[in-house]
Amino acid sequence: MFCYQCEQTTRTPAGIGCASAPGTCGKDEATADLQDILTHLIKGVAQYARRARAMGVADRYTDDFIFYGLFTTLTNVNFTATRFVHLIQEATKRRERIKLLYEEAAREQGKTPEILSGPANFQPADGLEQLLRQASGVAINSGVDHLGSDVIGARALILYGMKGVAAYAQHARVLGYQSDEVDAQAEVILDYLASNPTDIDAMLEESLEVGRLNLKVMELLDAANTETFGAQEITSVRISPIKGKAILVSGHDLHDLKQILEQTKDQGINVYTHGEMLPANAYPTLKAYPHLAGNLGGAWQDQQREFADFPGPIVMTSNCIIEPGKSYKNRIFTLGPVGWPGVRHIDDGDFTPVIQAAKALPGFAVDAEDQRITIGFGHHTLLGAADKIVDAVKSGDIRHFFLVGGCDGASPARNYFTEVADHAPADSVVMTLGCGKYRFNRHEFGDIGGIPRLLDIGQCNDAHSAIRVAGALAEAFNCGVNDLPLSIMLSWFEQKATAIHLSLLALGIKGIKLGPTLPAYLTPTLVQKLQSRFDLDLDLIGEAQADLQAALTHTATA
């Protein structure tokens, strides 16, 4: 087992990476190893898919699996070894299918099909033990002794970025949004990884390609969400319980939430969002359900306490699941790519077991005091108020914008983000997204001439909105995004944040403060190369007050 894809990876003087089970996240050795084999096979699927596409065969069934399969390997998504055995078999079947399609198409066009090597040829063993013996040869750090940590780190940067891309692409696909351009580019990048690249500069170029691909995918997901559920609207969301039976829905998948709302209609059950599902309350189609009662709880790392206290069933639609406590293991359900051993998984879209559990469990006995937060500042809302915002900047009422958000996590160093938000001056606006917002989204920020000082843009993929708003401000002021009075403090934890970070770097946005640590796979050589070769900033967060002052000084001199 070796894994260093997330921020909480083991770091000791002896080395970095979760190299023995369980990983800090709770991942066991078999699951980690099987995830590596699945990832390897998916690269093989992409090798054939890319070549089939070049022969005119674009096979959506194949690409569906590429994205879904990668999604299952993200941090805090799926911990069930048996699911991975099944996914490995499925990956092999799909690879052989697309291989056949490719070879047939090539022959029909009078061409000799290429004979591929690497993941395209990998034959997973039959038994679990034999399968696990194959894992060390396909792990991310395979060959580190002779290739060195820079080569392995650059490959990891591309692969982990692609995992984030896959998760966003999958969220769009379940809503029926797919793009041949995205699928083709994903195949190209995975095919490149399958070639075991060793040229570090070329790999860093490719990592920025991942960032560019992620921009397209976030745009696709934004279209999927807003065209399906309407554009986010400014919404006052209740964050305290109401008397009655209850279901809690966590994760990111709005499609799953819609199905649950539909099936619980008129059943006398209130549905609450949790974690990254909070922005669902601002989408017109979803908030039209009267039994969408609000949001309870905060970021993923608090779920064991919050789920234990919740008096009904809990549904995890995507990351981030952590080991369910005994008190709620029998009333938590997983969907789609998510899994935990012994937890009931719903894979047919029928939420009857969840509804039955909600009716059998006590629910909330009394109404709590009505507490609320305001959300819904996606790009439609903000661009609709652009004139007002631009005027406030011109008049000096707004001096600076901070984008503070991304993932949350358990590290105490993450207090930095709370401090930045809380101490941002009264003539500044704090935009936020992702689950990092829970550190400060109940605090009182006030407003500037009617513009709230805290603007919750949405889920982490709504970084797309932040980019659009920044672009619109730059246009209004006839300058580049880097010339705006805008500072970005990005809180990273897992691979979706990696993809977003690569997108921001690919756009040439400078001075992003990343924290609480730099990713373990970004070796000093890789950081230095990204900075010198591509003129990028890879700044680690510093001390909150000092970073705030520096940001504001920059504004004053810009």
What number of chain residues touch ligand SF4 (CB under 6 A)?
A: 27
Q: Which residues pair with 431 in a beta bridge?
A: 403, 455
Q: Minimum CB separation from ligand SF4 for residue 556, in Å? A: 33
Q: Which residues pair with 292 in a beta bridge?
A: 271
Contacts 24+ apart (CB under 8 A), 86-90: 87/38, 88/34, 88/37, 88/38, 88/41, 88/124, 88/131, 89/124, 90/65
> Which listed range, 154-162, 174-182, 212-220, 493-501, lies at the site for ligand SF4 (CB under 6 A)?
493-501
- 18 contributes a contact to ligand SF4 by CB under 6 A: yes
Site string for ligand SF4, 456-485 (x = CB under 6 A): ----x-------------------------
428-433 β-sheet, strand order: 454-458, 428-433, 400-406, 486-491, 513-515, 539-540
SS3 for 76? coil
Q: 45-79: b or e for each residue (b if 16 or more CB lie within 10 Å)?
A: bbbbbbbbbebebebeebbbbbbbbbbbbbbbbbb
Residue showing tokens 């397209």: 216
SS3 for 213? helix
- 25 contributes a contact to ligand SF4 by CB under 6 A: yes
Can you state the angle between helices 200-229 and 149-173, rounded to 10 degrees?
A: 20
Which CB, 497 or 505, lies closer to ligand SF4? Answer: 497
Q: Give the integer Cα–Cα distance in Å for 337 and 68.
A: 7
Q: Give the integer Cα–Cα distance in Å for 540 and 131.
A: 39
Q: Give the integer Cα–Cα distance in Å for 279 and 35.
A: 30
- 27 contributes a contact to ligand SF4 by CB under 6 A: yes
Site string for ligand SF4, 276-305 (x = CB under 6 A): x-----------------------x-----
> Which listed range, 54-62, 207-215, 326-334, 491-499, lies at the site for ligand SF4 (CB under 6 A)?
491-499
Q: Minimum CB separation from ligand SF4 for residue 152, in Å? A: 14
Q: Which of 4, 192, 351, 401 binds ligand SF4 (CB under 6 A)?
A: 4
Which CB, 11 or 344, lies closer to ligand SF4? Answer: 11
Q: Minimum CB separation from ligand SF4 for residue 174, in Å? A: 16
Q: Give the integer Cα–Cα distance in Å for 465 and 462.
A: 5
| C-alpha closest to that of 457 among 348, 363, 372, 376 | 376
Task: Map the footprint of ligand SF4 across residues 106-165, applying CB under 6 A.
Answer: none
> Which listed range, 6-14, 129-137, 443-451, 549-557, lies at the site for ligand SF4 (CB under 6 A)?
6-14
CB 508 within 8 A of CB 542: no
Task: Map the footprint of ligand SF4 across residues 505-544, applying CB under 6 A.
Answer: none
| C-alpha closest to that of 520 among 2, 5, 111, 103 | 5
CB 461 within 8 A of CB 171: yes
Task: Map the footprint of ligand SF4 across residues 239-278, applying CB under 6 A.
Answer: 275-276
Q: Minimum CB separation from ligand SF4 for residue 436, in Å? A: 7
Q: Give the integer Cα–Cα distance in Å for 364 and 182.
A: 45
Q: Minimum CB separation from ligand SF4 for residue 416, in Å? A: 16
CA 472 to chain centre: 25
Residue nearest to ligand SF4 (CB): 23
CA distances from 414 to 411, 437, 519, 543 (A): 6, 11, 15, 11
Q: Which of 31, 75, 179, 498 binds ligand SF4 (CB under 6 A)?
A: 75
Which CB, 320 or 455, lies closer to ligand SF4? Answer: 320
Q: Which of 103, 253, 462, 494 binds ligand SF4 (CB under 6 A)?
A: 494
Q: Minimum CB separation from ligand SF4 for residue 408, in Å? A: 6
Task: Give the CB-side neighbour count of residue 172, counting CA atoms within 13 A.
Answer: 26
Task: Map the footprint of ligand SF4 across residues 303-322, applying CB under 6 A.
Answer: 319-320
Q: Minimum CB separation from ligand SF4 for residue 518, in Å? A: 14
Q: Which of 8, 179, 214, 317 binds ligand SF4 (CB under 6 A)?
A: 8
CB 84 within 8 A of CB 134: no
Which CB, 62 or 319, lies closer to ligand SF4? Answer: 319
Task: Map the footprint of ligand SF4 across residues 432-461, applying CB under 6 A.
Answer: 434-435, 460
Q: Which of 36, 103, 408, 539 binds ligand SF4 (CB under 6 A)?
A: 408
Q: Which of 258, 493, 499, 529 binds ligand SF4 (CB under 6 A)?
A: 493
- 170 contributes a contact to ligand SF4 by CB under 6 A: no
Residue showing tokens 């699941």: 321
Q: Give the integer Cα–Cα distance in Å for 474 and 496.
A: 26
Q: Which of 11, 24, 263, 525 binds ligand SF4 (CB under 6 A)?
A: 24
Encoded tokens for 70 = 């990668």
> Which listed range, 19-27, 212-220, 280-288, 417-425, lies at the site for ligand SF4 (CB under 6 A)?
19-27
Task: Map the footprint of ligand SF4 across residues 42-61, applying CB under 6 A.
Answer: none
- 417 contributes a contact to ligand SF4 by CB under 6 A: no
For ligand SF4, the binding residues (CB under 6 A) are 3-6, 8-9, 18, 23-25, 27, 32, 75, 275-276, 300, 319-320, 407-408, 434-435, 460, 493-494, 496-497
